[in-house]
Each structure stands twice: as C-alpha cells, then as structure tokens.
Amino acid sequence: MEQQKSEHILIIGGPDAGKTHFGGQLYGRLQSRLGAYKITSPPENLTVFKEVLENLNEGRSAGHTNVSANEVLELNLADSEGGVTSLRFPDYGGEQVNTIVTDRRVNKVWVDQLRVSTSWMLFIRPDRLPVIEDIVNRGLPEQEILEQRSKEETPMKLSASAFYTELLQILLYAQKTAAGYTDQPRLVVALSCWDLIEEVDKKKRPVEVLKEKAPALSAFIESTWPQNHVVIGLSSTERTLSLTEADMDFVKRGPEDFGFLITPQGVLEKDLTVSIKILLGKN
C-alpha cells in the first residue's frame, strides 16, 4: 500500500458545538470497517471517546468534555484504494476556544497542535447563530423602546461572525509563528446539528446557509482561503439525545444507524468517514 503523508486534523469547536459526538460516531464508523476508511490497527488510547461511546450505546448524550481536558486519539487508516494515512484527532474542553478569543492568547498545548496541523475542522452550530435583523425585517422601534435602550448599559460582546473571524485570525497567526511557514491548513467548516436548522434552510447547500446566517464570516473565509476551504452540514446523532433519559429507538437501532453529513455539493451522505476524504482535500 502507498504510504501518504501524516495528517493532523485539528478539531476547532466551542462548548456544545458537537465535536465530541462527531468524534465518537466517526470512530464507530471506522471501527465497523463499512465506510470509505478503515482502521488498520487499534489505537493504544481510547480515552478521548470512551465516555461518548458508552453513552451513545446507551442512547444518551455524552455531555461536555472537561474544560481542562487535552487528549489525542491517533489512528492509522486505509482507504478503499489502498492508501494509508495516519490521523491524529485532538479533544479538549470547548471553553478553551472561548478563552483563546477573550484572552487573545494561545497556550503551548494549542501551539503544539497548530504547528503540525494540516487540516482544520471548524464546528459552528447554525441554529445558535442569531437572525440578522435590519430595518427591512425588523422595522423601526417605538420611541419608548429607544429610550429604554439608551438607559441600559450592556457589556460589549462580539457577534458570532466577529468571534469566529477573530478566532481564525489568532490561530493562523499562532500557526505561522510556531511553524515558521506561511502554508495554510485546509479548512472545513462543519455546520453541526444540521437536523435543528429550519426546514427552508435544509434545502440549501451548506455554503449558502453560512453566507445567509454569517455573511461577514463567510466573506472572511472566502478571501483568506479562496481555494482551500469547503463548508459541509453535519448531524452526528440525527436527533437530540438526553443526558439522563435513554432513547430506546437509538439503542435498538444502534449509533451506527444515525448521523449524516451534507457534502459541499448538497448531497446527503450517511457514511461519516467521507468527512475524512473531505478533510484530506479529496472531495
């Protein structure tokens, strides 16, 4: 088999963005050996996905990764054409992403990950992006409302587009500084929890949904990664699971029967391992 270069996928997602469920479901697909990629040798450490796999098998949500967690799952994979790829999936508490933006600092653990990363997978929940309002769809507020707003003092808060743009800029600068080169990693924007998007949006390609819900962020990505980015839709569990109550239909059918992604072309794909092909730039 032809040995390909080692790939390091950096998963970038804040709290409750869906990255942990994705990792567990992806590993389950790889372990089944029914998808586009297969595991050639069992990983030495399954700490990263141990809890999420157990919870999903019981029909429950895995909850949040501990804020201080920093684990890496190393996988050796083979594709259907015989190519071999070594992948490293890091897992961490999503609050660390928020801290990077609020503190404008990247710690050593992140710097080490950025130094070797070849692909970034940025998780964004479109159902959590606020609707962009203007005078056309919002109208002019009443005078009483304007007066009340002028009395209220609210702390400055970044919009979702500004937050993710700032995050990507910080990570790009940190990677260039740490690695000493200017080559950008491939960027895959994963619009997670796709099943929670309004029905009208599900008919659109993921890139169209991003442009609609976060136009400033979309424009930044297109100008910074003009030829080396894609946007996909993702639903790792295809439904909302409870932390405490088991979904017996999920248990009966098994986690491997749930989850899908929407390709950049807008095609629904049940094989979650196709995301690896996309991350490797083979889509």
CATH superfamily name and code, 7-279: P-loop containing nucleotide triphosphate hydrolases (3.40.50.300)
The pLDDT of residue 140: 59
The pLDDT of residue 135: 47
Distance separating alpha carbons of residues 17 and 265, to the nearest angstrom: 23
Q: What tokens does 226 get?
A: 């003009």
Distance separating alpha carbons of residues 34 and 12, to the nearest angstrom: 27
Distance separating alpha carbons of residues 138 and 123, to the nearest angstrom: 29
Q: What tokens does 248 get?
A: 């017996």
Q: What tokens does 180 get?
A: 């000493």
The pLDDT of residue 14: 86
The one-letter code for the residue type at 242 is S
User: With the C-alpha atoms ordered 32, 34, 40, 43, is the resulting torsion angle positive or negative?
Assistant: negative
User: Strands of 70-79's sheet, edge to edge?
Assistant: 37-41, 70-79, 84-92, 7-12, 119-124, 186-191, 229-235, 260-262, 268-269
The pLDDT of residue 73: 80
> Which residues 6+ apart lie within 8 Å of 71 measured at CB?
45, 47, 48, 90, 91, 92
pLDDT tens digits in sequence order for the chain, 283 residues long: 444 557 888 999 888 888 889 988 998 888 887 788 888 887 777 777 778 888 999 999 876 665 556 777 888 888 877 788 888 777 787 888 999 999 999 999 899 889 888 899 999 999 888 765 554 445 555 666 656 656 665 555 678 889 999 999 999 999 988 767 667 899 999 999 999 987 767 789 999 999 999 999 999 999 999 989 999 999 999 999 998 899 999 999 999 899 999 999 999 999 999 999 899 888 6
Among candidate residues 155, 164, 220, 170, the one with its CA nearest the CA of residue 190: 164
H/E stretch holding 265: none
The pLDDT of residue 1: 44
Q: What tokens does 23 get?
A: 């990792």
